Amino acid sequence: MKKIFIASVLVIIATCSFAQYDDVVKNSEAFSQDSLGVELSITLKIDSSWIVYDSIGGQDGPIPFSLSLDENSPWSIDGVVKPNVNKKFDDLFEMNIYYLKGQVTYVFKFSNTALKAGQVLSGSYEFMSCNSVSGVCLPPSQYSFSYQVK
């Protein structure tokens, strides 16, 4: 009984310590469509002492921003407009890292060879954030998106 109580307390403490960081990165998506395809803009508003890792991070480093389409999707990514990134050597990861600060926007352009009304573009994106002052890193955040062609 004592072990169950201690384990419960530890779970509550861990949950509370990550709960205080819920809103360090606020994200939003916006879609636009033309005759050639769909454009997805993902905006991240990153709190002042936090950073988000960019998609050109190293293999052994932090989890970088990434986007993936649902399996067997008829869509393809035709282009990406990335925000300006910062670079520094990170002692923890022992490598150069590329990161984002402030408010940034990624713009993804998608095409589909048979673009028709009612088709759905869907997938997800993921990113990891760390506090640049304390060094606290949060588990990666993953978000889904979906857009129905008009």
Query: How is 94-105 classified by DSSP, letter by letter?
Result: TEEEEEE-SEEE
* Average pLDDT for the chain: 85
Give the global pTM. 0.82
pLDDT classification of 135: cutoffs 50, 70, 90:
confident
CB 47 within 8 Å of CB 24: yes
Phi then psi for residue 17, to 5 deg, are -70, -35
Domains, in order of start, for the chain:
23-148 (2.60.40.1250)
Task: Fill in the amino acid letter for 138.
Answer: L
pLDDT, tens digit (0-9, with 9 covering 90-100), for 61-85 = 788 999 999 999 999 999 999 999 9
Residue 102's SS3 state is coil
Strands 66-69 and 75-81: unpaired
CB 141 within 8 Å of CB 127: yes
Task: Fill in the amino acid letter for 122.
Answer: S
